[in-house]
């Protein structure tokens, strides 16, 4: 269980990026966070990752307060951030330095096979396509088996085909060990295809605006009318979140009002 309790963040320059964010996310759930640019999504994710400290409130994973990076939490960024001086296999094994070499090799080989890049084990990061590099980043984050995996717009720099491919692939990988996924995205399709629950945020200061249960069985058909209906709900909530005149609604209400 990941619980966020009144998490807020004010940057040293005075920007009030996040205000009193509450959420309880059971183990294994996939949550998408969506919202306009600058509404604090990355701020929130970085606080959960322990990269930046929240100014107020608490973040807990299984009752462990998170104030610094923790082994139960992994993160994937928009850029793959591979280490250019390590080949693909060593990049994937980067977080396994404590393991004996043989065990590390096994795990890396498995992960490489799992993301379909066994033939690239010895390649340098510069020799990979954007999609392949992001696969390596996913493998690197998943190999230490985190309980929570955070993804900050992980596919937004990729073309539409590669993006779809990786979305499906991510679900596949998730099914192996079922970590909690928290995925920041600006792509409504992506949110609805992946998530159990979509959280819509609104800016200035960043806060939770609406919460939408997707409630579709997997695998999901992007062309089905049910899929479209959920997408419409998310889009409407997103539109309303950008409307400055609208007062903050209690999250459940905001959705219920439309539905």
Partner 1 sequence: MSIALDSPAATAEAPAQRYESGRWQRLARPALGIVVPVTLALAWELAVWAGWSNGRLVPPPSRVFATIVELARSGELTKHVTTTLFRVAAGFGFGVIAGTLLGAVSGYWGIARRLLDPTVQALRAIPSIAWVPLFILWLGIFETSKVALIAVGVFFPVYLGVMGAILSVDRKIVEVGRTFRLSGPAMIRRILLPAVLPAYVVALRVGLGLGWMFVVAAEFMGASEGLGYLLIDGQQLGKPAQILAAITIFALLGKTTDWLIERLTAPLLRWQDAFRPGGDS
User: Which residues, numbered 4-43, are part of the site for Mg ion (CB under 5 A)?
Assistant: 42
The entry of partner 1, ligand ADP, Mg ion, none that residue 217 binds, CB within 5 to 8 Å by partner kind: none
Structure tokens given for 13 = 């320059």
Listed residue (183, 179, 182, 185) closest to 142, CA to CA: 179
Nearer to Mg ion by Cβ, of 42 and 91: the residue is 42
Candidate residues 15, 123, 171, 235; the one interacting with ligand ADP per rule CB under 6 A: 15
User: Min. distance of Cβ 74 from partner 1 in angstroms?
Assistant: 7
- Please identify, using beta-carbon distances, which residue of 1 and 15 lies nearer to ligand ADP: 15
Identity of the residue, 11 or 258, whose beta carbon is nearer to ligand ADP in the bound complex: 11
Is 156 a binder of ligand ADP (CB under 6 A)? no
Least distance to ligand ADP, CB of residue 205, Å: 8
Say whether residue 53 binds ligand ADP (CB under 6 A): no
10 Å CB burial of residue 216 (0-12, 13-18, 19+) is middle
Q: CA-CA distances (angstroms) from residue 40 to 31, 208, 241? A: 16, 10, 13
CB 174 within 8 A of CB 166: no
**Which residue among 7, 41, 112, 179 contacts ligand ADP (CB under 6 A)?**
41
Residue 186 CB burial class (10 angstroms; 0-12, 13-18, ≥19): middle
Q: Which residues in this chain contact partner 1 in the complex, by CB under 8 A?
A: 49, 51, 68-71, 74-75, 77, 79, 81, 83-87, 94-95, 97, 124-126, 144
Q: Specify the residue, 132 or 241, whose C-beta has the smaller distance to ligand ADP.
A: 241
Site residues for ligand ADP, 188-207, by CB under 6 A, read 206
- Residue identified by tokens 């999609």 is 131
Q: Which is nearer to Mg ion, 42 or 180 (CB)?
A: 42
- 38 is an interface residue for ligand ADP by CB under 6 A: yes
Give helix 101-114 / helix 130-142 axis angle, nearest 10°: 130
Residue 26: partners with Cβ closer than 8 Å, 6 or more residues away: 1, 180
User: How is residue 28 annotated by DSSP?
Assistant: T
The tokens describing 52, both together, are 């930046």
d(CA 216, CA 14): 41
Cα 12 from Cα 196, distance rounded (Å): 35
Least Cβ distance, residue 78 to partner 1 (angstroms)? 10
As measured in angstroms, the least distance from the Cβ of 97 to partner 1 is 7
Among 19, 31, 34, 43, binds ligand ADP (CB under 6 A): 43
- Residues lying near Mg ion in the complex (CB under 5 A) are found at 42
- Residues lying near ligand ADP in the complex (CB under 6 A) are found at 11, 13, 15, 17, 37-43, 206
């Amino acid at each position: 269980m990941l619980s966020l309790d009144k998490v807020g963040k004010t940057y040293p320059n005075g920007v009030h990026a996040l205000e009193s964010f509450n959420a309880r996310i059971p183990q294994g759930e996939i949550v998408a966070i969506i919202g306009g640019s600058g509404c604090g999504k990355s701020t929130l994710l970085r606080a959960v990752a322990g990269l930046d400290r929240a100014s107020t409130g608490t973040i807990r994973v299984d009752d462990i307060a998170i104030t610094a990076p923790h082994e139960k939490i992994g993160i994937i960024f928009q850029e793959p951030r591979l280490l250019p001086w390590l080949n693909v296999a060593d990049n994937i094994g980067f977080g396994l330095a404590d393991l004996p070499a043989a065990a590390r090799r096994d795990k890396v080989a498995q992960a490489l096979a799992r993301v379909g890049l066994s033939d690239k084990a010895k390649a340098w990061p510069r020799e990979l396509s954007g999609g392949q590099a992001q696969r390596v980043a996913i493998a690197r984050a998943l190999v230490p088996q985190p309980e929570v995996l955070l993804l900050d717009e992980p596919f937004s720099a990729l073309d539409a085909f590669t993006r779809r491919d990786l979305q499906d692939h991510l679900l596949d990988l998730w099914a192996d060990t079922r970590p909690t996924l928290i995925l920041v995205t600006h792509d409504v399709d992506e949110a609805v295809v992946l998530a159990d629950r979509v959280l819509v945020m609104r800016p200035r200061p960043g806060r939770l605006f609406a919460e939408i249960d997707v409630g579709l069985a997997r695998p999901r058909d992007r062309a089905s009318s049910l899929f479209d209906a959920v997408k419409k709900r998310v889009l409407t909530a997103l539109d309303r979140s950008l409307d400055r005149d609208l007062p903050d609604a209690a999250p459940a209400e905001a959705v219920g009002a439309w539905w």
